[in-house]
Structures are given as C-alpha cells and as structure tokens.
Amino acid sequence: MGEVKRRFMFLLMALFVFLFVFLSAMLFQKGAEGNAGYAGVTICKGCHEGHYESYASSIHAKKAIPGNPANREACESCHGPGASHVEKGGGKGTGIFTFNRKANAEEKSSRCLSCHEESQHLAFWNMSRHKSAGVSCDNCHSIHAGKDKNLKDPEPVLCYGCHRAVNFQANKQSHHPINEGKVRCSDCHDPHGAFGEKMVKADSVNELCYKCHAEKRGPFMFQHPPVDENCLICHTVHGSNHTRLLNKKTPQLCQSCHELRGHPGTPYTKFDSFGETPSNKLVGRSCLNCHSNIHGSNGPSTHGLNFVR
C-alpha cells in the first residue's frame, strides 16, 4: 500500500512539473509575441535624441498618469513598432508611421484619439468643421512641443496660420483685444467642435456676446429688434474700421433700416458731409447723439420708445 502511495505522489509531482513548464512556455511565448516588432525607447533615443528630449519634457512622459505612452511603448505608442524601421537602417517613413503631410489626416488623428477619444473636450470632434476640412490633431498639437497643451504656437499665432482673414481684421482700428492677449480665440470658439455656428461656445451669437457684454442682455421695457435677433446685424466680430466694431458708419448703418421714417427720410451720403452746408446729422456720434440707448431702454414712454436717454 505504501508503494502505491509513493508512486501516486511521484506521478502527481511529475504532473505539476509538466504543467508548470507548459504554462511558463506559453506565457513566455505570449510575451515574446506581445513585444515582437518593438525596438524599445533606448534605441529610439540613440538616433532621435532631440525628439526624445522634447518628448521627455512633455506631459506624455509622466508615468504618474495612467495610460500614458510612458507606461506603454513610449515613442512606439504613437509611431508604431519600430523594429522594422531599425532593421531597414532608419530613414524617414521607413518601416514606421510618421506624422508628415503625406499621411492621411484621419489616420493621424486616430492615433491620438486612441487615448483621447473619451475626453470631454473632444465630444463633438466628429461633427466639427476642422475635421471635415481635413485638419488633424498634429496640425495644431505636437507631442514634442513641450508647451501649454502641447500647442505648436500660442494663440492667436497658431490660429492665424490658417485664418489669415481674421488676422487682417484684428489689425483694424476697432477690434477685440486679440493681439493684446486679453481675448483668446478659444474664449469664443471651440476648435474641437461645438453645436453653435462657426464652432462658437454658445447656442447663439447673442448668448456668446452676453458672456462679456451682460449689460446688453436686458430685459428692457423697449427692445430694439436687431439687438434681440443677432448682434452681427450691426457689429462685426474680429475688427472694423468703424468705431465699436460697427459694420457701417452711422448714420448709414441706422438708415439700413430707418431710411423712410424720422427726420428726414432722405439717406445721408458723402455729399451731405462736405460743402458749405454740411448736414448736422453727421456731426459727432450722428444718430447716437440723441438715440444713445440703442440696445434697449427703460425710459419713459416717449423717450424710451425712441431709445432717447
């Protein structure tokens, strides 16, 4: 009976040893397959030291952040396995993914979105104007930039690279203080997409303007219809050669609506501005000399109805 027991124990131990060796081999093979094709960050650094140093100074190199490239394959988390790149002797775009102009914009963005897709800032990226225009993440951001939000340039210089008309408008005599740094493009627009037109951070233009110009919101006893409808009926956004970002100079702006009523109904032109008897309606603030509560009035019925202070 003792002999049988010894043989049974021997067979049981042999079975355990076999299972241990078998499972170890399987795990080793799986690990080898998992690391297949990756060259390692040390080899990347050997050839691309400058790029590695800029990556190391960015937030993507912080191991304290779960899921960061630093906790995975570092450089190869974004550029893909680099073993083939090394075997072929290197070279731009050889055996590895590079974020260059020839690469498809959607493919470049997809590599960023593999980590950032769940970010609340990218909730509307798929419906954004930037995506439909073929703009990819690396047009504005660089993992090697090491700057605020990994932007390639600060605002508004970065935005001006594509929006040159806005750059021109922001240099006009009346403009929002964009170049002075008091207002940023991203204060009004969401570059990653929004429901509002022009990717504005509000449901309407007026709601966006009221965030800074709350005194224009009202409610007023006497409302001026174009104020309620859209601020852009009278104002331009980025810059104008007329005071207060107006689309036209008063009284021409006012007479876009009020040409057949009031005093007088004749439109004012340049002929009323010069000569021996220039019109007194073109002096100073023109219509606004009297009608100063143009955004709305709470004044007495007669004065308030005509937006007179």
**Tokens describing residue 8:** 């049974």
In whole angstroms, what separates CA 25 from the centre of its chain? Answer: 49
Q: Which residue type, as a one-letter code, is found at position 97? A: F
For Cα atoms 221, 227, 228, give the angle at the middle one, nearest 5 degrees: 70
Judge whether 146 and 54 are in contact, CB under 8 Å: yes
Q: Return the closest-CA partner of residue 296 out of 235, 222, 211.
A: 222
Q: Return the closest-CA partner of residue 266 out of 245, 251, 244.
A: 251
Judge whether 94 and 85 are in contact, CB under 8 Å: yes
Q: How confident is the model at residue 33 (pLDDT cuts 50, 70, 90)?
A: very low
Q: How confident is the model at residue 305 (pLDDT cuts 50, 70, 90)?
A: confident
pLDDT digits (tens, 9 = 90+) for 164-209: 999 999 999 999 999 999 999 999 999 999 888 899 999 999 999 9
Q: What percent of the chain has pLDDT over 90?
A: 39
Query: Which residues is 297 bridged to in the sheet?
Result: 222
Distance in Å from the first CA to the final CA of the chain? 116
Cα distance between residue 102 and residue 85, in whole Å: 18
Burial 111-138 (b: 16+ CB within 10 A, else e): bbbeeeeeeeebeebeebebbeeebbbb
Judge whether 176 and 239 are in contact, CB under 8 Å: yes
pLDDT digits (tens, 9 = 90+) for 211-231: 999 999 988 999 999 999 999
